[in-house]
Amino acid sequence: MDDDVRVRHWRRALGGLVVVLAVVTGCSDPSPPPPPSSLRVMTWNVQTGAHDPDEWAPVVADLRPDVLALQEVCTRDAEELADLLRRDHGLDYQVARGPIRPPTSAEAYAPVNAALGPACDTGPNDVLYGVAMLSQLPVSPPRVVTFPPDRRDEQRGYLAVDVTTASGPVSFYNAHIGLDGVQSDQLRRLAGAATAPGPAVVLGDLNVGPTRPELAPLRQGFAEVDPAGQYPTSDHGKIDYIFLRGLAALGPPQTPEVTASDHRPLVADVRVGP
C-alpha cells in the first residue's frame, strides 16, 4: 500500500471518529428544559354599590390576571365587567357566577341583606350577590357553598372552580369570610373543603389580619404568597390572601393602589407544573 493510500485510509478513519464523537457529545448534552408555566392570579374585593364595572375594567386590563377572584360583587356587575374587558381591551374572560344569597325571606329582609338589593338593582329576594370569578382559561361549572347564616351579617360562602392550565387542572376556592367571631368556623370549613388532592389556590377577603390564629387551618396545608404580611390590602391592613398548594410563587405579590374600591388588588405570579 503506497503512502497516498495510507493517508486516505487514516483520513477516513479519523473522519468517522469525529462523527461518532459528535453524536455521542450531542446525546450527552441534553437541551435545556422549557421555562416553567406561569399563572397570574388576582383577588379583589371590588365594593359593589360604591364602585362600578367601568371603574374596575382598566385596573383588571392593566394587571391582566389569568384568573380573577372577586368579592362584594353583584353577578350582573361581574358579567358587565367581562363584557367591558372583551369590548374595550380585547381580553376574553369567562364568568363563573357565585351568588351567595340569603337562604330565607326573613334573612333576606334583614337590614344588612336588604341593602344589597338596591346595590344590585334587584329586590332582596332576587339579589344575586357575593363572589364571582373571571378566567381567561377554561373553567369548570362553579360550585357554591354557603356557611351557616349569621343574622347580623350578609350571607357568606365560597365559590370553587377547576381551571384548566397547560400543566393540568388547578382548583380555586374564592371566599368572602364574615366578621365578629365567625371567622374561625368559616375558615376551618373552607380549609376542610380545599383538601382534595392536586394543586389548589385559596384566595379572597378573609377578614382577619396576618397574625390571627384563625388562619392556622389554611397555613397547615398551604403556603402564602405574602407570608410575612408585608403587603396591606385595605385600611385595616392585610385582610386579603392568596394561599397555594402544589404551586410556587414567582416572587413577591403586587398590591397596587387603586381608587375603584376600598381594597387593593392582591396579584401573584405562580409557577404551574415542574
Question: How do residues 217-246 score in pLDDT, each as one tens digit?
Answer: 999 999 999 999 999 999 999 999 999 999
Answer whether residue 131 shows pLDDT above 50.
yes
CB contact at 8 A, 209 and 239: yes
Kindly report the pTM of this predicted structure.
0.86
- Using pLDDT thresholds of 50, 70 and 90, give the confidence band for residue 114: confident
- When the pLDDT of each residue in the chain is averaged and rounded to a whole number, the result is 88
- Give percent above pLDDT 70 in the chain: 87
The pLDDT tens digits for 191-204 are 999 998 899 999 99
Residue with cell 448534552: 29
Please write down the HEC assignment for all residues of the chain. Answer: CCHHHHHHHHHHHHHHHHHHHHHHHHHHCCCCCCCCEEEEEEEEECCECCECHHHHHHHHHHHCCCEEEEEEEEHHHHHHHHHHHHHHHCCCCEEEEEECCCCCHHHHCCHHHHCHHHHHCCCHHHCCEEEEEEECCCECCCEEEECCCCCCCCCCEEEEEEEEECCEEEEEEEEECCCCCCHHHHHHHHHHHCCCCCCEEEEEECCCCCCCHHHHHHHCCCEECCCCCCCCCECCECCEEEEEECCEECCCCECCCCCCCCECCEEEEEEECC
Confidence (pLDDT) at 105: 82
Q: Is the pLDDT of residue 86 over 50?
A: yes
